[in-house]
Structure 1
Amino acid sequence: MVETQRLLIISFTYEMVEATLKGRSELEKVLGCKVSEEWPSSTYAKRIPQKKEKLKQQPETSIWSRIVIEKESNTLIGEIGCKGGPNDKGVVEIGYGLVSKARNKGYATEMVSKLTEWLLERPDVNKVTAECLDTNIPSARVLEKSGFHLIDHKDDMFFWGYKEN
């Protein structure tokens, strides 16, 4: 588990993925917390069956996929993780999402910053990257505030790398 002042960032395990596919109340039982009615987004929901298959084969990969719980309300409000583990050069790409009710409160910056810090403490990770649509200004601002810098802009995508001190 990775923890910030306001958030718990926990591995999205096979058991949790299975419960998600059964419905919100089932996931709430497994987690012992509320699940926002907005979670998962339609985009993230499409990935859950693939996550289930991957976790069935490789349960240890759950460390790369996480859900985000807001501590004060004890509610699942989003997800964050890596698009797979590190490649052979130790590079991981992060992605994240929050339910609309949790946006504009600093949660995204908090979770991106903390997960990036956690990743860079791992011996198998050398670099953290991210990408977002060039029209997704809120996500670009989160990445900037979290210490990422713009590396490239191709087609309709911004490509980011974490600034190393």
Structure 2
Amino acid sequence: MNKNLETKRLLLIASNQNLLESAIEGDKKLSQQLGVIVPENWTEFGLAPLQYALDKIKSSKEELGWWNYFVIHKSDNKLIGNCGYSGQPTEEGIVEIGYEIKSEYRNKGLATELANTLIDNAFSFEHVNSIQAHTLGQENPSTKVLSKCNFQKIEELEDEAEGIIWKWKLQRT
């Protein structure tokens, strides 16, 4: 699985080794590869998750499509975020999603749009039974997105670096 995903306003470009290497090399190189505007600080997560995804897909071609997607705002032809899964589904059929949207594009329903697309894509695989996500342990924009997407908060965890973390789950119906 390594296909691009599309919504009304967004194009989610599935990463591959070449795109991830370009992103790590720099915004100019990534812009050339994607054919879109790549603004400074397009990701708040930094390069470490991109390097991690690159290492995973280099270790196994089966990982393609289960990591990073570059989020393009179609009408602006601009990279506005990053989303994806934290690897292939587990043996129990669980996959985790994550996402980020550049601050000036927030509060427009775009995160909900891309989360729903990740959900639909994951559930298109019959072996995926549930989807999980983690947020900071307080009400925030991401908790609102997950609630709109019918996730249920199922657990509160203590994280050394982040403090309280909420675990969310969406079960296949």
Task: Kindly indicate whether the alpha-carbon contact (under 8 Å) linking 1:69 and 1:76 is maintained by their aligned counterparts in 2.
Answer: yes
- What is the match of residue 25 of structure 1? 28
Unaligned runs of 5+ residues in structure 2 are 159-163
87 and 163 in structure 1: CA distance in 2 versus 1, 3 angstrom threshold = closer
- What is the match of residue 162 of structure 1? 170
> Offset of 1:2 from its aligned partner?
1.2
- What is the match of residue 46 of structure 1? 48
- What is the match of residue 9 of structure 1? 12
User: Which of the numbers 110, 114, 126 marks the counterpart of 1:111?
Assistant: 114
Higher normalized helix content (fraction of residues): 1
51-60 or 104-113: bigger deviation: 51-60
Q: Does 1:69 align with 2:72?
A: yes
Residues in 1 aligned to 2:11 and 2:147: alpha-carbon distance in whole angstroms:
22
> Offset of 1:19 from its aligned partner?
0.7
> How high is the TM-score relative to the length of structure 1?
0.92
Give me the identity figure in percent: 34
Residues in 2 aligned to 1:20 and 1:119: alpha-carbon distance in whole angstroms:
24
Structure 2 counterpart of 1:162, which letter?
L
Runs of 4+ in structure 1 off by over 3 angstroms are none
- What is the match of residue 98 of structure 2? 95
- What is the match of residue 134 of structure 1? 137
Provide the alpha-carbon RMSD of the alignment.
1.5
> Offset of 1:114 from its aligned partner?
1.3
User: Which of the numbers 82, 89, 99 marks the counterpart of 1:79?
Assistant: 82
- What is the match of residue 153 of structure 1? 156
54-63 or 27-36: bigger deviation: 54-63
45 and 123 in structure 1: CA distance in 2 versus 1, 3 angstrom threshold = same
Task: Kindly indicate whether the alpha-carbon contact (under 8 Å) linking 2:116 and 2:149 is maintained by their aligned counterparts in 1.
Answer: yes
Structure 1 counterpart of 2:14, which letter?
S
Task: Kindly indicate whether the alpha-carbon contact (under 8 Å) linking 1:36 and 1:99 is maintained by their aligned counterparts in 2.
Answer: no
> How high is the TM-score relative to the length of structure 2?
0.88
Is the partner of 1:141 in helix, strand or coil?
Answer: helix
